[in-house]
Structure 1
Amino acid sequence: MYGGGNSFEAMKATALTDEDPIKLAEFEARIDRGEKIEPSDWMPQLYRKQLTRMIEQHAHSEIIGALPEGTWITRAPGFKRKLALMAKVQDEVGHAQLLYSAAETLGKPREEMITDLINGKSKYSNIFNYPAFTWADSCFISWLVDAGAIVNQIANSKGSYGPYCRALERICAEESFHLKYGHHCVIHLATGTKVQREMMQEAFNRWWTPMMHFFGPSDKISVHSEILMRWKVKMSSNDECRQQFLDMYVPKIWELGLTLPDENLRKDPETGEWQFTEPDWEEFKRVINGDGPCNKERLAVRRVAEERGAWVRQALLAPKAKYVAPLA
């Protein structure tokens, strides 16, 4: 996450010093050998804490990420688009449940995770705090946000924690269908009427900065990446994922005759790396910390859903108990 570098480094040093050095060395040797860590295995408390934070935030991102697209189900153009989008949104919510289950194996109850989300204590991806004004916005999310997610998730599915890796393998299989659906939607608009092409171009103009933020802060300022990569929770750095995404999708975007709002975006012929304008990391920090265009709206929707579903959870957990309806 962004910021707090000195305090995190101090906390990390203290946490590792407090661990049994023999157990820590064997733990890291297992990871170096490519073995999976399972819930019953010994692990450093910092590994448990960082992994819980990462998986929990991923779960929150899946369930919040369903909201901007979900608002377009009733307005999607045509019955087939409605069915496809409805299935996609249902998949995203299912991904969240898989990830909450993986996070629970580390000791944090799902109810506590959801409470932390609604209260603003836990974070989720910055990109889901922007409004989807048009159908083209929904198409951008379905194609490129899911594409970015796949870049991250395929890499991390080869990581060190077994339950998370197994969840990611299943999620990536479903995300590949989402990607094809989104790509088809974008092609349809980009090769359509003048109005459709303009609508798609405007969506790219709006979403490109959040998309560049999506992979997280530059490696130069990222706080958590070093320890996560050392323990193979993350298998690629933020900048590596961003470069891979650009390499895979910028040519496809240009092939459709669409432009991107960055005059500096180009591929260096000597290094093979993409050059681009450095994103505004202060905006990223504001959004990730709850001050984005739709942060309050997104959490309000989740809060209402949690309150309305309370009777279902109560009935499942205590089926013989008499339900008492909340006062109006």
Structure 2
Amino acid sequence: MTQKTELDVVTMEAVRDLILVLADSKRLLGYRYAEWMLGAPELETGIACSSMAQDEWGHARLLYALLKDFDEDVEALEHGREAPEYRNMQVLDEPAPSWTDAVALMTVADVALTVQFEALESSSYGPLRQRVEKLIEEERFHAAHGAAWSRRLAAGTDASRTALRESVEAALPPVLAWFGPDSERGRDLVGAGVVDAAGSDLRSRFVERVAPTLEALGLEEAGGRVPDLEGFDGARRRFPGGGPDPETIRRIRGDRNREFLMD
């Protein structure tokens, strides 16, 4: 089992970056789900959104904790960063304004994260591998919930199908880009056994996983488009500039309530 001390400096930095990308993405996705706890179409669906939000935040906390091994200040990572410092998936920067946009996050963004975690199931980096199995198990519920709502909306009215199609089509490009190019960083991670695939290989796995959703909405061609990755920041897994909306980050950090914490 590989420990941090057994990784070369370049690979160690790449592992640290990957963990932070995944933790930030989980944290933001959980918040986006939480925003729909009271606005979901049905009470049961709101409860499901609450459950998924708790799962994602729990996953994020597990991942942030791993960064202690990389001499990171976890408290500062969770409560001290501003929006531009976050490394979350770009599609999570803004709230999902409609229910179909929320379903698109379930069926596109959440699935992409699961595909990345599956590439870590046999990771040579033990501390990360040990946490992946539980995460993937909980993600099966998220995938089932998203797929059920996707089928329901696609088979509903013309308006519901069109709205879902537009939401998925909008979410797809930034998620396809999130897997990044075939880079030296990715090859280092694969070569060290940290992941079993990176870049275009992971993107292909993702497209295969979401193919039923895309086919049901007539978006097969969109799934096959190769993203323009010029200027892509491989360490942050996003394009330069931008970030989550500042109000989201203030709420996530709990700025207004930190004074009430007891030592």
In which range does the TM-score fall when normalised by the shorter chain? 0.7 to 0.9
- CA separation of 1:284 and 1:260: change in aligned 2, threshold 3 A: farther
CA distance in 2, matches of 1:261, 1:134: 23
Root-mean-square deviation (CA, aligned residues, Å) is 2.5
Correspondence for 1:135: 99
| Bigger CA radius of gyration | 1
Correspondence for 2:219: 260
- CA separation of 1:119 and 1:67: change in aligned 2, threshold 3 A: closer
Deviation at 1:123, TM superposition (A): 1.9
CA distance in 2, matches of 1:180, 1:99: 24
Correspondence for 1:303: 250
The structure 1 residue matched to 2:207, chosen from 246, 250, 255, is 246
1:60–1:117 Cα contact (<8 Å) kept:
no
Correspondence for 1:46: 10
Equivalent residue letter for 1:191: A
Correspondence for 1:56: 20
User: Which consecutive residues of structure 1, in runs of 5 or more, have no partner in the other structure?
Assistant: 1-35, 266-275, 319-328
CA distance in 1, matches of 2:231, 2:185: 19
CA distance in 2, matches of 1:284, 1:80: 39
CA distance in 1, matches of 2:21, 2:63: 9
Correspondence for 1:196: 160
Equivalences for 1:102-141 in 2 at 5 Å? 102-114=66-78, 117-118=81-82, 120-141=84-105
CA distance in 2, matches of 1:124, 1:76: 24
The structure 1 residue matched to 2:145, chosen from 167, 181, 192, is 181
Deviation at 1:304, TM superposition (A): 4.0
Equivalent residue letter for 1:82: G
Correspondence for 2:136: 172
Which deviations, in whole Å up to 9, do the C-alpha atoms of 1:9-46 show, x marking residues without a partner? xxxxxxxxxxxxxxxxxxxxxxxxxxx1235x544333
CA distance in 2, matches of 1:104, 1:114: 12
1:125–1:214 Cα contact (<8 Å) kept:
yes
SS in 1 for 2:193: coil
CA distance in 2, matches of 1:123, 1:137: 21
Correspondence for 1:37: 2
User: Which consecutive residues of structure 2, in runs of 5 or more, have no partner in the other structure?
Assistant: none
- CA separation of 1:116 and 1:224: change in aligned 2, threshold 3 A: farther
Which protein has greater RCO, CA pairs closer than 8 Å, 6+ apart?
Answer: 2
The structure 2 residue matched to 1:229, chosen from 151, 169, 190, is 190
Deviation at 1:183, TM superposition (A): 0.5
SS in 2 for 1:169: helix
* Number of positions where the alignment pairs a residue of Structure 1 with one of Structure 2: 260
SS in 1 for 2:32: helix
2:22–2:113 Cα contact (<8 Å) kept:
no
Correspondence for 1:288: 238
CA distance in 1, matches of 2:186, 2:108: 23
Deviation at 1:154, TM superposition (A): 1.0
The structure 2 residue matched to 1:211, chosen from 161, 175, 188, is 175
The structure 2 residue matched to 1:160, chosen from 124, 135, 147, is 124
Deviation at 1:312, TM superposition (A): 4.9
- CA separation of 1:309 and 1:165: change in aligned 2, threshold 3 A: farther
TM-score, normalised to structure 1's length?
Answer: 0.71
Deviation at 1:112, TM superposition (A): 3.0
1:156–1:234 Cα contact (<8 Å) kept:
yes
CA distance in 2, matches of 1:283, 1:42: 31
CA distance in 1, matches of 2:7, 2:106: 37
CA distance in 2, matches of 1:130, 1:147: 18
Equivalent residue letter for 2:97: F
Structure 1 stretch displaced more, 279-288 or 187-196? 279-288
CA distance in 1, matches of 2:124, 2:237: 30
Deviation at 1:232, TM superposition (A): 1.8
1:290–1:296 Cα contact (<8 Å) kept:
no
- CA separation of 1:232 and 1:85: change in aligned 2, threshold 3 A: same
TM-score, normalised to structure 2's length?
Answer: 0.87
Which deviations, in whole Å up to 9, do the C-alpha atoms of 1:95-142 show, x marking residues without a partner? 100101122223212023236642633522222125522101111111
Which deviations, in whole Å up to 9, do the C-alpha atoms of 1:36-77 show, x marking residues without a partner? 1235x5443333322222112211111012233322222100
Identity %: 23
CA distance in 2, matches of 1:91, 1:172: 11
1:127–1:210 Cα contact (<8 Å) kept:
yes
1:123–1:289 Cα contact (<8 Å) kept:
no
Equivalent residue letter for 2:64: Y
The structure 2 residue matched to 1:279, chosen from 227, 231, 247, is 227
Equivalent residue letter for 2:137: A
